[in-house]
Amino acid sequence: MGQSKIVSLDRFVEKSLYDKEFGYYSTRNPFGVSGDFITSPLVSILFGEMIAIWTVAFWESQQKPKNFNFIELGPGDGSLCKTLLNTFKKFPEFYNSLNVYLYEKSEHLIKIQKKEIKNDKVLWIRKMDKIKNGTSLFFGNEFFDAIPIKQFEKKNKTFYEKFIRYKKKDHLEFFLKKASKNDLKELKKFNLLKKGGVIEYPKMGIAELNKIISVIKRYQGGILLIDYGYKKSQKISTIQSIKAHKKNSLFKNIGNSDITSLVNFSLLKNLFIKNKLKINKIVSQSFFLQKIGILKRASILASKMTFREKSNIYFRMQRLLSNKQMGALFKVAFAYKGKKKFTLGFEK
């Protein structure tokens, strides 16, 4: 990074995470107990199996399209994709219609994914226009929380954007700069100008989502998103830097810590509605996974297990489902354009 420069918060985070030389996601495999964080596919294989079964059910509900694209957004270490493919194979008619695309930005993670996943159906893409004609279902687990956001604040009737100023390499500080007219227009569009306190605006995330929405509008299909986030903004900064499973200062261990922010699900909903997609009610991860039968599946598996294995599987279920752990903070959204209504996992 240059000397005595200012850079917007989202650009700063983008560099810290994705710089080709020193970015966090360009230099390591951060997932798992020995990494910095654990995501649901690594908590339990049942998470991936349930997503696979839900996907097959969606395909069936749309009258079994002959060309069906499954696009995973930010596949991490590839664990989820492996589980999905193993489960998809159990449904031969579905499997014959299937193409899998992995949308990944980190060259380093692509290498890890390619070692893990050896299957002719899988294509790695950096551009959405590589997706061929076919009903297209996008899936992202903790994809949007890893996309940097902008922050704004209002002071004396003027809106400012948060920037970071570096004086010397080790001396960074926040700095407020008058917000651009274009950004203010966007904030207004999403009803964000009325909010006091910290206004979070996922400009880069929206750009990604717009590309995805245009594929869905062209080919039909949908987007299933699971992420930690909120429906009502608390007007505070939700940016967090994590190193070795612990909170870390944003200005420390740059390139060596993961930086995330909570996803504003109301804003996503707004964008889907503006684009005339159907959208299901946003529910918690606990609600969704239980509705699609994760506990039934766990109990079938547990009936053939030793006491120790049983305790392990229920310990993992607790982690995914408990409101004190990932169950409530993680939300699930599904927006789609299709022949038939599909509400599996979202209705009582």
Ligand X SMILES: C[S@@+](CC[C@H](N)C(=O)[O-])C[C@H]1O[C@@H](n2cnc3c(N)ncnc32)[C@H](O)[C@@H]1O
The residue (of 18 and 251) whose beta carbon lies closer to ligand X is 18
List the x/- string, 204-223, binding to ligand X by CB under 6 A: ----x---------------
Q: Does 39 bind ligand X (CB under 6 A)?
A: yes
CA atoms of 213 and 43, how far apart (whole Å) = 30
Q: How far is the CB of 345 from ligand X (least distance, A)?
A: 18
The residue (of 24 and 88) whose beta carbon lies closer to ligand X is 24
The residue (of 49 and 142) whose beta carbon lies closer to ligand X is 142
241-267 CB burial, b ≥16 within 10 A, e <16: bbbeeeebebbebbbbbbbbbbbbbeb
Three-state DSSP class for 279?
strand
DSSP states of 121-174: TEEEESSGGGPPSSEEEEEEES-GGGS--EEEEEETTEEEEEEEEEEETTEEEE
Task: Give the residue from 92, 99, 28 showing the smallest Cα distance to 70.
Answer: 99
Q: How far is the CB of 307 from ligand X (least distance, A)?
A: 29
Among 10, 36, 49, 142, binds ligand X (CB under 6 A): 142
The residue (of 41 and 345) whose beta carbon lies closer to ligand X is 41
| Total of chain residues touching ligand X, rule CB under 6 A | 18
The residue (of 106 and 261) whose beta carbon lies closer to ligand X is 106
Q: How far is the CB of 153 from ligand X (least distance, A)?
A: 25
| Cβ atoms of residues 326 and 277 within 8 Å | no
Q: Does 16 bind ligand X (CB under 6 A)?
A: no
Residue 76 backbone phi and psi in degrees, to 5: 60, -125
Q: Which residues, 6+ apart, have CB-to-CB distance to 274 below 8 Å?
A: none
The residue (of 107 and 309) whose beta carbon lies closer to ligand X is 107
Q: Which of residues 70-129 bind ligand X (CB under 6 A)?
A: 74-76, 103-106, 109
Q: Does 143 bind ligand X (CB under 6 A)?
A: yes
Strands 330-337 and 283-284, sheet pairing: antiparallel
Tokens 């909170």: give the residue. Answer: 247
Q: Which residues bind ligand X (CB under 6 A)?
A: 25, 31, 39, 41, 74-76, 103-106, 109, 141-143, 146-147, 208
